[in-house]
């Protein structure tokens, strides 16, 4: 299983990097893909180097993760390559995970329609006709959504549970979670 975490300028640090950290602890192949330049700056002014820049290779991944953060979530939503990728992943029933404001891309792609989803309060009107939940993490078939920064660890563990359930307890124990 391969996981791609999308990084657009202004992404939420904890939501992206917590997911990468937990998945890598579990031995999952997880790469960060910057949407523009390999160097990308978070919403809290931390500049880092992504593993890769968005390219066709991403279509071979099994899971795509969209962190929130401003303007990162808007930058993802407004990138047609991201929207097309989400539609393709959804049509193949691949896992799509989005947290905080990240689910607004699901709304634009039309894949949150009729689904149980969550997001950061105030963005729910951008999710389309969905069943909005006020839970930390919500799973509906191949869609995993998280509410905000406080959900970063449970969100990452839910992704891990979907792809390598045998690793969850081991990593939780090692992290004292």
Q: How far is CA 86 from CA 15, 33, 39, 71, in A?
A: 19, 14, 23, 19
Comparing CA positions, the residue from 80, 114, 124, 81 lying closest to residue 98 is 124
Question: Cβ of 150: how many Cβ atoms within 10 Å?
Answer: 12
Tokens at residue 92, please?
Answer: 């193949």
Instruction: Give the pLDDT confidence score for residue 42 in this predicted structure.
Output: 98
Q: What pLDDT was estimated at residue 63?
A: 98
Q: Which of the following is catalytic: 30, 100, 119, 130?
A: 100
Q: What is the model's pLDDT at position 90?
A: 98
Please indicate whether residue 100 is annotated as part of the active site. yes
Mean pLDDT of 130-138: 96
Write out pLDDT tens, residues 28-86.
999 999 999 999 999 999 999 999 999 999 999 999 999 999 999 999 999 999 999 99
Average pLDDT of the residues of the chain:
97
pTM higher than 0.95 for the full model?
Answer: yes
Residue 152 is predicted with a pLDDT of 98
């Amino acid at each position: 299983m391969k996981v791609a975490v999308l990084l657009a300028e202004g992404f939420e640090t904890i939501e992206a990097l917590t997911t990468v950290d937990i998945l890598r602890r579990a031995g999952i192949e997880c790469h960060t893909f910057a949407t523009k330049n390999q160097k990308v700056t978070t919403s809290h002014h931390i500049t880092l180097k992504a593993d890769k820049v968005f390219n066709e290779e991403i279509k071979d991944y099994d899971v795509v993760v969209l962190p929130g953060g401003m303007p990162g979530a808007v930058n993802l939503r407004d990138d047609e390559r991201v929207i097309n990728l989400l539609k393709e992943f959804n049509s193949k029933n691949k896992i799509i995970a989005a947290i905080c404001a990240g689910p607004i891309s699901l709304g634009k792609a039309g894949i949150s329609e009729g689904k149980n989803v969550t997001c950061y309060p105030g963005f729910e009107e951008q999710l389309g006709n969905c069943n909005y939940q006020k839970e930390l993490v919500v799973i509906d078939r191949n869609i995993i959504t998280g509410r905000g920064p406080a959900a970063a660890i449970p969100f990452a563990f839910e992704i891990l549970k979907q792809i390598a359930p045998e690793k969850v307890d081991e990593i939780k124990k090692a992290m004292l979670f």
